[in-house]
Chain A
Amino acid sequence: MSTYNFDYLDELEAEAIHILREVAGQFEKPALLFSGGKDSITLVRLAEKAFRPGKFPFPLVHIDTGHNFEETIIYRDKMVERIGEKLIIGSVQESIDQGKVVEQTGKNASRNALQTVTLLDTIAKYGFDACIGGARRDEEKARAKERIFSVRDEFGQWDPKRQRPELWNIYNGKIHKGENIRVFPISNWTELDVWNYIRREKIELPSIYFSHERDCITRNGQLMAASPFLNMDDEDVVERKQVRFRTVGDMSCTAAVESDAFLIDDIIAEISASKISERGARMDDKVSEAAMEDRKKGGYF
């Protein structure tokens, strides 16, 4: 019997590929939710490993808040061209224009919460029965509770008290009409696992993940990128800082960290030594102890 090296990254990778292929096999109209962040970029690589040389059995779907980092959009379009897969964009701006959601006002206004409506509309419009997402259980305590195949009702709601048993590596994808399943292939990966994987696979990332100079203001103890999307007033002082982003979302809710990490090795060293969690840089989680649980119940990613 031959021996072989199968380390923890190989194991996590093989599990994720298995899950992606289950989605392909079990659903009529799946989609891969692509945010432009490192986790969904990792999902794209895993999908390539699952289905190449064939096409992906699903399109990529980007829920676009309109408040993006420019670098993310440039990256997204280049990547879509490279992989030659279909991209569908659900626009929060459109949802606002149609009067389906109302833009928040005030200093901490963000479009993050509005995304849910656009997401649910996009799912309904295309009739997606499964949406693959890059959420990980180590990110947040409500996510730590979620199944890999997570059922959402017709209103997109997650019911944490009534999750189906999920046994061995058998995933039950059966749903009623109108329901859909959110699938999280990298549930069992940690932030560090993702970075180690990106390094191993030599995956290119948007430049905002690496140290760069940027105009920032300090809000609620967090460094925010100064941008037209942030409601600023006279009290806000703009400072030039050497920063990078640890997680990438809407510009108005993603905080930067001061960093000199220019290379992926620097980032891995930085995260290994860090005493703050990744979502410590997300304003959207700071609202209350159950902020994520509540958003998930409402249909969020």
Chain B
Amino acid sequence: MNILKFFTAGSVDDGKSTLIGRLLYDTDSILADQLEALQRSNRKNDDGTIDLAILTDGLRAEREQGITIDVAYKYFQTEKRKFIIADTPGHIQYTRNMVTGASTANLAIILIDARNGVVEQTIRHSYIVSLLGIKHVVVCINKMDMVDYSETVYNSIIEKYKILAQQLKLADVTYIPVSALKGDNVVQVSENMNWYEGESLLHFLEKVDTDHLDQSLLARMPVQWVVRPQTEELHDYRGYAGRVLSGTFNLNDKVTVLPSGASSVIEKIEFFDEALDAAHAGQSVIIHLKDDVDISRGDTIVNASALPQETKLIEADLCWMDTRALDTSMMYNIQHNSKITKCKISEILHRVDINTLDKHAADEFKLNDIGRVIVKTADALAFDLYDDNRANGSAILVDTRTNLTVGALMFRAAVE
């Protein structure tokens, strides 16, 4: 059995939390005592039925205001698959929390309120989905119960969205008309929309393929920790512990260690008490090299025949996530896997106007702004382009005054 990680996005009150609640409820994933707590709660729908959104709106402030502030993670499984859901906030103020939930997902559910159609937050979230390179998108036209389950309304919204999807180069988009509140097309196919010929949301989620097998030739392992027992019997033991980001390392593979550029050969791959022939993307292992090279945390072991980029100037997309605006004269820390070095945003190439998706010249970058910048790093990073290798093409910016994570970076090009 494998895991599908997905998240919900869309504007405030489009019904994201209700949809998750409905998915859990109709798959019988809510336990008796949790249900009892829901029934006791005083947040009810107008008709007196339980408000399923409070299943994920776990904070007091969220329940009081009836909105989602931060991501909630929920877990359920069917016979076919395990699911990890991130229910993210729709409010623009909390976009950074939406990005948090989205960054680890492989599928996005974008909700649109059938009464309102595509609005600014729909565009913003869809844009973020495209920046993050999330492969699968399901657009749920929600609250169909409030528009008499009208096919015409549904069609006019998806026609609009299709144009947006094309602009954003979202390749794999599926459309489903639903009512999160009433349950139409969430788990069961609805009787109320006979004109809809597709499957229910759950059914789709159960079978959408998520290619777990990483076919990439870009074998990369950032070193997190050097294991050196320094005991008598393991006197010379020196293993490099890390998680393989992408690709595969095999015994006897020629590897290069960056940034030093030293080369060696894989002598042994260990996983606890097992010796492995190969280490694949996703695995946390210990690698031993034939030669005595100087390696420490922050270095990356890579396949010698497919080297990453190595520069100090990188063109990247930036999502700014701090209330304090970007200061181009300031030094920030950039954290790229296990490597941390200083950096500056040396140039803002453009900022994107979310309503029109037009690119404008800009010298300011404020909370929730998205655009293209040039990052200048103190040490060179060994990176890949985000589109080639998500795991090695992303980084965060940390403000050294506040220690807050203030920016998300997706690398788009090495600047020569």
- Chain B residues contacting A147 (CB-CB under 8 Å) are 100
- Chain A residues contacting B72 (CB-CB under 8 Å) are 141, 144-145
Interface window among A59-67, A123-131, A167-175, A202-210: A167-175
- Chain B residues contacting A138 (CB-CB under 8 Å) are 74-75
* Known contacts A11-B282, A18-B243, A21-B241, A165 near B59 by CB under 8 Å: no
- Chain B residues contacting A276 (CB-CB under 8 Å) are 31-33
Report how far A141 CA is from B143 CA in the complex, Å. Answer: 26
Contact A3 B405 (CB under 8 A): no
Contact B100 A166 (CB under 8 A): yes
Interface window among B342-350, B353-361, B396-404: B396-404
- Chain B residues contacting A274 (CB-CB under 8 Å) are 31
How many residues of chain B are within 8 Å of chain A by beta carbon?
Answer: 73
Total contacts A to B, CB within 8 angstroms?
178
Contact B403 A175 (CB under 8 A): yes
Contact for A53 among B74, B99, B229, B278, CB less than 8 A: B229
Report how far A55 CA is from B272 CA in the complex, Å. Answer: 13
Interface window among A43-51, A105-113, A114-122, A231-239: A43-51
Contact B243 A142 (CB under 8 A): no
- Chain B residues contacting A6 (CB-CB under 8 Å) are 212, 280, 282-283
Q: Closest Cβ of chain B: how far from A257's Cβ, in Å?
A: 12
Report how far A25 CA is from B335 CA in the complex, Å. Answer: 13
Contact A165 B69 (CB under 8 A): no
Is A24 part of the contact surface with B, judged by Cβ < 8 Å?
yes
Residue of A nearest to B76 (CB): A190
Is B97 part of the contact surface with A, judged by Cβ < 8 Å?
yes
Contact A172 B391 (CB under 8 A): no
Is B305 part of the contact surface with A, judged by Cβ < 8 Å?
no
Report how far A188 CA is from B394 CA in the complex, Å. Answer: 22
Contact B75 A137 (CB under 8 A): yes
* Known contacts A3-B213, A167-B396, A172 near B403 by CB under 8 Å: yes
Contact A141 B282 (CB under 8 A): no
Residue of A nearest to B71 (CB): A145
Residue of A nearest to B283 (CB): A14
Q: Closest Cβ of chain B: how far from A265's Cβ, in Å?
A: 18
Q: Closest Cβ of chain A: how far from B341's Cβ, in Å?
A: 13
Is B115 part of the contact surface with A, judged by Cβ < 8 Å?
no
- Chain B residues contacting A50 (CB-CB under 8 Å) are 225, 241, 284
Is A17 part of the contact surface with B, judged by Cβ < 8 Å?
yes
Q: Is the interface of B mostly helix, strand, loop or mixed?
A: mixed
* Known contacts A145-B72, A293-B59, A174 near B398 by CB under 8 Å: yes
Report how far A125 CA is from B224 CA in the complex, Å. Answer: 28
Contact B248 A8 (CB under 8 A): no
- Chain B residues contacting A172 (CB-CB under 8 Å) are 335, 396, 398, 403, 405
Q: Closest Cβ of chain A: how far from B82's Cβ, in Å?
A: 5
Report how far A188 CA is from B55 CA in the complex, Å. Answer: 17
Is A54 part of the contact surface with B, judged by Cβ < 8 Å?
yes
> Restricting to B283-327, which residues have a CB under 8 Å from any CB of A?
283-284, 297, 321
Report how far A6 CA is from B248 CA in the complex, Å. Answer: 13
Report how far A51 CA is from B128 CA in the complex, Å. Answer: 37
Contact A53 B234 (CB under 8 A): yes
**25 A-B pairs with C-beta separation under 8 A:** A2-B248, A8-B1, A18-B284, A50-B284, A53-B237, A142-B59, A144-B56, A147-B100, A160-B70, A165-B100, A165-B321, A167-B99, A167-B394, A167-B396, A168-B103, A168-B104, A169-B104, A169-B243, A170-B394, A170-B396, A172-B398, A172-B403, A174-B403, A275-B32, A280-B31
Contacts A11-B282, A21-B243 known; 18 new A-B pairs at CB < 8 A: A6-B282, A10-B283, A14-B284, A21-B225, A22-B338, A53-B227, A53-B231, A54-B228, A138-B75, A140-B58, A142-B58, A167-B405, A169-B243, A170-B337, A172-B335, A176-B403, A190-B75, A277-B33
Which residues of B are at the interface with A, using a C-beta cutoff of 8 A?
1-3, 31-34, 37, 40-41, 55-56, 58-61, 63, 69-75, 82, 84, 96-97, 99-100, 103-104, 212-213, 215, 224-225, 227-229, 231, 234, 237, 241-243, 248, 271-273, 278, 280, 282-284, 297, 321, 333, 335-338, 390-391, 394-396, 398, 400, 403-405, 408
